[in-house]
Structure 1
């Protein structure tokens, strides 16, 4: 998931950025919300956190500009001082939510999760799956007290490939998973138990 945070106040943007990055999302921070539409046009974003605190008219014109570029983009507005009229105007332009700073992590998690479901966004599923499988391979290897070289010898796979799989940087083929499962004394479903 690629997310743009348009907020002039790093104090407010940082917690959102940290949360999203910890969830494994790609985040870009823009300190000039008036340039949101221009930035959206140049990049590929699935979600935008737009701080409307300092934008005229509660950010409605900025939202309209973004909608003109990408009508399906998930926009979440943030503000330091909530304004009912501005919130209603934003919602009329299909803003997903309207949050007040400081945004609590629980609320952020809920809103992002709901937005992903409602907008049908793919949240780097492949990367997450690679990381989970890699972690399971590494954990099992450590449980058995095996080195990368020992697993490589058992599987005829290269140390480099096994290392890349463990780090989540490379996807393992079905044949590779079979070889790893055999070498580590588990069945293939073991690698997907936490998915």
Structure 2
């Protein structure tokens, strides 16, 4: 079955170009030009992925993302003409999985779509949730971490951060999103607190903490867990 992509883009010429490139690659594409229509369409027929323009009439991309994200975990790629760091952070904080600034090359957009769908498929297959990247194993079901076969002791906050990243390998998480996950541990946590937890995790799991292989910094955004090679995410014991 072909993956269904919902394209929410108010520039009709640009939307048609995106549709043609997606269909050329074998995807099914539905195009809408209004934020409220996009939200309604996504709720009636959940797409496999949403391409979401930031500037939409009636309800902007951030509003669509904030409304849809608590209801569905479909991959969302934000399209924006705003390249400023704050705008990118807003999109990611609202729940977007990736972003692409205009002007972009259609082939790059299709490549981002393919990568996001691959990550989503990999995540949905993992039951119980075990993620392996090189010699790092994160077992969400057993609440265990192993590095090169040795057990790693983590604090509750450290495991929460690592579990969040491991659930969506390759996805960039802002410090704000990670702070939300830590809300139950300490009301006074800050972005600096996230940095310190990641630093401590690197000391525990990285072969060379100063040159991380697993817990990667996404400059200007936050952190992500490196993506495992194809077939490396497993549920075997």
Q: TM-score range by the shorter chain?
A: 0.5 to 0.7
Tell which structure's C-alpha radius of gyration is larger.
1
Contact 1:57 1:86 in 2 (8 A): no
Contact 1:5 1:28 in 2 (8 A): yes
In structure 2, the partner of 1:127 is none
Contact 1:53 1:79 in 2 (8 A): yes
Q: Are 2:34 and 1:32 equivalent residues in the alignment?
A: yes
Contact 1:12 1:101 in 2 (8 A): no
Query: Which blocks of at least 5 consecutive residues in structure 2 are unaligned?
Result: 123-237
* Pairing of 1:61-140 with structure 2 (within 5 A): 61-70=63-72, 72-120=73-121
In structure 1, the partner of 2:61 is 59
In the TM superposition, residue 55 of structure 1 has moved relative to its aligned partner by: 6.1
Q: Cα RMSD (Å) of the superposition?
A: 2.2
In structure 2, the partner of 1:4 is 6
Contact 1:48 1:73 in 2 (8 A): yes
Per the normalisation by structure 1, the TM-score is 0.55
Query: Which blocks of at least 5 consecutive residues in structure 1 are unaligned?
Result: 122-195
How many residues are treated as equivalent by the alignment?
120
The structure carrying a bigger helix percent of its residues is 1
* Pairing of 1:146-165 with structure 2 (within 5 A): none
Contact 2:65 2:95 in 1 (8 A): no
Q: Deviations over 1:58-85 (max 9, x none)?
A: 7322211111331x11111112333421
Q: For 1:99, what is the secondary structure of its paired residue?
A: strand
The structure carrying a bigger strand percent of its residues is 2
Contact 1:49 1:78 in 2 (8 A): yes
Q: Distance in 2 between matches of 1:66 and 1:25?
A: 22
In the TM superposition, residue 57 of structure 1 has moved relative to its aligned partner by: 9.8
Contact 1:36 1:66 in 2 (8 A): no
Q: 1:43 aligns with which of 42, 45, 61?
A: 45
Q: Distance in 1 between matches of 2:99 and 2:74?
A: 15
